[in-house]
């Protein structure tokens, strides 16, 4: 079955709106764990707009499931990852003005630097994923620098109009096949929802999705545990393996 990483950044967004203690990010993570999620994903941004250093430290201590740290490849955040030792890091592009992670990482143009980051993580037993757009050159570059996984940015698929959806899916599937052939693990995330997940879940070789906004948004109305469970049900029903 395809594994589910729940991104809980938006629980922290709500907390930071008042700079208080509620809603509790750790409690949210444990509810996701209880509901059957396989991983908790958090993005420690340079601007600390939602997740804080103390959240990452506490999650590492209390989680029974994996912690996946999304991060820009800056020296400051790399040092934090090396100290806290998440199970995986997912390298993402980061610009301070963006509302969310707006595109994939350009691995092609930063091969040498990113290869060094991958080596540093591997030296500490941390597996590395590259958050890339579904483009052949980015897949090839990710394999070349020794990444363990790629996570396809599914934003273009999620935002595609009716006449473009199939083209975006074809692009995902073609690059997915190339990823598997290169021996990398295949993940997907961004903009995935209960309504658009099925065609992505059917992508051959997909082993993990990371979903945040839709789960937290639905949790406001149906509760976090049910919001996680309904995604797990879809993955269970529709994944090819
Ligand atoms: N995967 C990565 C690498 C991301 O940066 C994000 C957004 O933070 C997600 C998954 C989750 O995206 P969404 O919140 O749209 O589900």
Q: What is the pLDDT of residues 164-178, one digit of tens each?
A: 999 999 999 999 999
103 lines ligand 1 (CB under 6 A): no
Position 241 scores a pLDDT of 61
Instruction: Give the C-alpha separation, 157 to 170, whole Å.
Output: 10
Q: Are 138 and 132 in contact (CB under 8 A)?
A: yes
100 lines ligand 1 (CB under 6 A): yes
Give the count of domains, the chain: 1
Q: Active site includes 70?
A: yes
Residue with CA nearest ligand 1 atom 12: 190
Query: pLDDT, tens digit, for every residue of 38-86?
Result: 999 999 999 999 999 999 999 999 999 999 999 999 999 999 999 999 9
Q: Does 160 or 98 have the greater pLDDT score?
A: 160
Position 103 scores a pLDDT of 87
70 lines ligand 1 (CB under 6 A): yes
Instruction: Give the C-alpha separation, 227 to 91, whole Å.
Output: 26
Structure tokens at 76: 């400051």
Q: How far is the CA of 98 from the centre of ligand 1 (A)?
A: 13
Position 50 scores a pLDDT of 97
E strand map for the chain:
3-7, 39-43, 66-71, 88-91, 127-132, 149-153, 185-189, 206-211
Query: pLDDT, tens digit, for every residue of 91-135?
Result: 999 875 677 667 899 999 999 999 999 999 999 999 999 999 999
Residue numbers of the domain that contains 20: 3-239
pLDDT band at 239 (very low <50, low <70, confident <90, very high): confident
Q: How far is the CA of 145 from the centre of ligand 1 (A)?
A: 23
Position 226 scores a pLDDT of 98
Tell me, what CATH number does 87's domain have? 3.20.20.70
Active-site residue identified among 10, 33, 50, 70:
70
Instruction: Give the C-alpha separation, 129 to 88, whole Å.
Output: 7
Q: Does 99 or 155 have the greater pLDDT score?
A: 155
Query: pLDDT, tens digit, for every residue of 195-227?
Result: 999 999 999 999 999 999 999 999 999 999 999
In 3D space, the residue among 180, 232, 29, 197 whose CA is nearest the CA of residue 188 turns out to be 197
Q: What is the DSSP-derived secondary structure letter of residue 109?
A: G
Assessment of whether the complete model's pTM goes beyond 0.85? yes
Q: Which residues pair with 68 in a beta bridge?
A: 41, 88
Q: Active site includes 190?
A: yes
3-state helix, strand, coil in the chain (%, to 5): 50, 15, 35
Position 95 scores a pLDDT of 73
Position 101 scores a pLDDT of 66
Among 14, 88, 134, 212, the mutation site with the greatest number of ligand 1 atoms within 8 A of its Cβ is 212
């Amino acid at each position: 079955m395809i594994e589910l990483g729940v991104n809980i950044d938006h629980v922290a967004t709500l907390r930071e709106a008042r700079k208080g203690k509620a809603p509790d990010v750790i409690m949210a993570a444990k509810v996701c764990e209880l509901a059957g999620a396989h991983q908790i994903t958090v993005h420690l941004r340079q601007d600390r707009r939602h997740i804080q250093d103390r959240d990452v430290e506490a999650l590492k201590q209390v989680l029974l499931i994996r912690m996946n740290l999304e991060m820009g490849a800056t020296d400051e955040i790399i040092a934090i990852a090396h100290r806290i030792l998440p199970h995986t890091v997912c390298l993402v592009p980061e610009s301070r003005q963006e509302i969310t992670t707006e595109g994939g990482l350009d691995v092609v143009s930063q091969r040498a630097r990113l290869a060094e980051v991958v080596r540093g993580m591997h030296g500490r037993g941390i597996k590395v994923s590259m958050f890339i757009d579904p483009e052949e050159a980015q897949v090839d570059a990710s394999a070349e620098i020794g990444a363990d996984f790629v996570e396809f940015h599914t934003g273009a698929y999620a935002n595609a109009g009716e006449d473009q959806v199939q083209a975006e899916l074809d692009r995902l599937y073609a690059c997915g096949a190339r990823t598997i052939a290169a021996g990398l693990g295949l993940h997907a995330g961004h903009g995935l929802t209960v309504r658009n997940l099925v065609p992505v879940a059917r992508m051959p070789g997909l082993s993990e999705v990371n979903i945040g906004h839709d789960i937290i948004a639905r949790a406001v109305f149906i509760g976090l545990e049910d919001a996680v469970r309904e995604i797990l049900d879809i993955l269970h029903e529709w994944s090819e393996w």
